[in-house]
Amino acid sequence: MTAVAAEPTDPDSPVGRADPADPTGRPRATGRGRLVLARLLAARGAVAGAVLILLLFALAFGGPYLTPWDYAAPDFSALHQPPSAEHWFGTNGVGQDVFAQTVRGLQKSLIIGLLVALFSTVLASVVGACAGYFGGWADRALMFLVDLLLVFPSFLIITIVSSRLKSAGWIAFVLLLALFNWMITARVVRSMTLSLREREFVRAARFMGVRPLRIISRHILPNVASFLIIDATIAVGGAVMSETALSYFGFGVKAPDVSLGTLLAAGTSEAPVFPWMFYFAAGLLVLFVLAVNLVGDGLRDALDPTAGGAPRRSRRSPRSRRSWRKQK
């Protein structure tokens, strides 16, 4: 998630620069990357969200060492037991420890959620911006591809292909989910790029001799970043849930392995009677999505210089003037 937006905003990737590790170089306080990072660190919500995500990772990967129980091994002496000192989150119908299962599922879901959002957003922004910026043939070809993927019943294809990709493991699964998740975003990015392309600052860059790909990365993508970030944060939650849906049909994460999605799917029907089977997994998922949203909001505000931040002198009056001009 963080990487999604940091990628297009990197102000001076040192490709082909004279001396990337210039030791005498004065600290360039003016770089956009630094400014954005400083603003991001100053935003309390974003920091809290990042800390929360780190804690979730710590729980997911450190959790299995905290409990003696294995996520797959059943404890036949405790079936459908509520949370206790022995089984912290209780047990399920076959006596598996819900805590062990939840942290195991969290591992999978954290990675799937973040990676799917990352891959699909990067793909969408690159394809959309290129189609919109270059226009003509590139546009037609790329949009044809997008439309083709849109009309494919993605669910069906994933089900067909995933059985073949069993050996490739979860990374193939992530790629598949990402592959069927980016088209609408790409279309929106394209249309935003179409209008950005005619803006004077893009034109100015073109007349200055800036290369097209640099214009895309330095001007177009930062200006559609607000949309991309919101879209990516939504995609995180969406990926976890669509993984659930596939897992429910027996694809993706397979028993005895678990993910938050499979746990939720299994626990939903039993939630009224055995709430511990549902609410712990659900709570963690909510926390996860919330944390991603906090980071996303912080990043969006950090990238948008007119949003929030410290109140500045010159900000208020143009805004108030604009507001009544619009009404005129």
Partner 1 sequence: MTTAVETPLLAVRDLRVDFVGPHGPVPAVRGVDLTLRRGETLGIVGESGSGKSVTALSVLGLLPGTARVGGSVRLDGRELVGLPGRELAAIRGRRVAMVFQDPLSAFTPVYRIGDQIAEAVRVHQPVDRATARRRAAELLDLVGIPAPDRALDSFPHEFSGGMRQRAMIAMAIANEPDILLADEPTTALDVTIQAQVLDVLRTAREETGAALVLVSHDLGVIAGAADRVAVMYAGRVVETAGVDELFAAPRHPYTLGLIGALPRLDGHGGPLVPIPGAPAPMSELPPGCPFAARCPLVEERCSAAEPALSGEDGHRAACVRSAELAGRRPAPSEVYPVPELPPGPSGGDRAGRAPVLSVSGLGKTFPLLKGTVFKRKVGEVYAVDGVELDLREGETLGLVGESGSGKSTTLFELLKLGAPETGRIELLGHDTARLTRAEAQRLRAELQIVFQDPMASLDPRMPVGDIVAEPLRAQRAPREEIARRVPELLRQVGLDPEHAARYPHQFSGGQRQRISIARALAVRPKLLVLDEPVSALDVSIQAGVLNLLQQLKAELGLSYLFVSHDLSVIRHLADRVSVMYLGRTVEQGEVSAVFDHPRHPYTRALLSAVPLPDPAAERARDRILLAGDPPSPTERRTGCAFRTRCPLYAGLRDTAARELCERERPTLDDRAGVDHGLEVDHGAACHHPQ
Report if residue 305 touches partner 1, rule: CB under 8 A.
yes
Taking the least distance from each CB to partner 1, the nearer of 60 and 302 is 302
Binds partner 1 (CB under 8 A): choice among 77, 272, 273, 312: 312
Closest to 223 measured CA to CA, from 201, 204, 196: 196
| Interface stretch with partner 1, choices 50-58, 99-107, 185-193, 298-306 (CB under 8 A) | 298-306
Binds partner 1 (CB under 8 A): choice among 23, 68, 169, 311: 311
What is the SS3 assignment for 97? Answer: strand
Give the ranges where the chain is alpha helix by DSSP (H).
2-9, 32-42, 44-66, 98-134, 136-151, 154-164, 170-179, 183-197, 200-207, 212-215, 221-248, 260-268, 276-303, 313-327
Tally the C-alpha atoms within 13 A of residue 126's C-alpha that lie toward its C-beta.
8
Question: What are the beta bridge partners of residue 91?
Answer: 97
Cβ at position 250, least distance to partner 1 in Å: 45
Taking the least distance from each CB to partner 1, the nearer of 167 and 314 is 314
Specify whether the CB–CB gap between 11 and 31 falls below 8 A: yes
Report if residue 223 touches partner 1, rule: CB under 8 A.
yes
What is the SS3 assignment for 91? Answer: strand
Report if residue 187 touches partner 1, rule: CB under 8 A.
no
Among residue numbers 188 through 207, which ones bind partner 1 (CB under 8 A)? 199-201, 203-205, 207
Distance from C-alpha of 219 to C-alpha of 211, rounded to nearest angstrom: 11
Residue reference for tokens 């999605």 = 261
Phi, psi of 80 (to 5 degrees): 55, 40
**Per-residue x/- track, 9-48, partner 1 (CB under 8 A):** --xx---xxxx--x-xxx-xxxxx--x-------------
Report if residue 140 touches partner 1, rule: CB under 8 A.
no
Closest to 163 measured CA to CA, from 176, 182, 149: 176
Report if residue 227 touches partner 1, rule: CB under 8 A.
no
Report if residue 324 touches partner 1, rule: CB under 8 A.
yes
What is the SS3 assignment for 70? Answer: coil
Closest to 122 measured CA to CA, from 12, 233, 232: 232
Report if residue 298 touches partner 1, rule: CB under 8 A.
no
How many residues bind partner 1 (CB under 8 A)? The answer is 52
Taking the least distance from each CB to partner 1, the nearer of 222 and 252 is 222
Taking the least distance from each CB to partner 1, the nearer of 83 and 305 is 305
Taking the least distance from each CB to partner 1, the nearer of 19 and 167 is 19
Report if residue 91 touches partner 1, rule: CB under 8 A.
no
Closest to 56 measured CA to CA, from 105, 7, 17, 18: 105
Residue reference for tokens 């990967």 = 61
Binds partner 1 (CB under 8 A): choice among 44, 166, 211, 254: 211
Binds partner 1 (CB under 8 A): choice among 60, 78, 98, 225: 225
Report if residue 323 touches partner 1, rule: CB under 8 A.
yes
Specify whether the CB–CB gap between 31 and 12 falls below 8 A: yes
Question: What are the beta bridge partners of residue 149?
Answer: none
Taking the least distance from each CB to partner 1, the nearer of 132 and 238 is 132
Binding site for partner 1 (CB under 8 A): 11-12, 16-19, 22, 24-26, 28-32, 35, 199-201, 203-205, 207-211, 214, 218-219, 222-223, 225, 303-306, 311-321, 323-324, 327-328
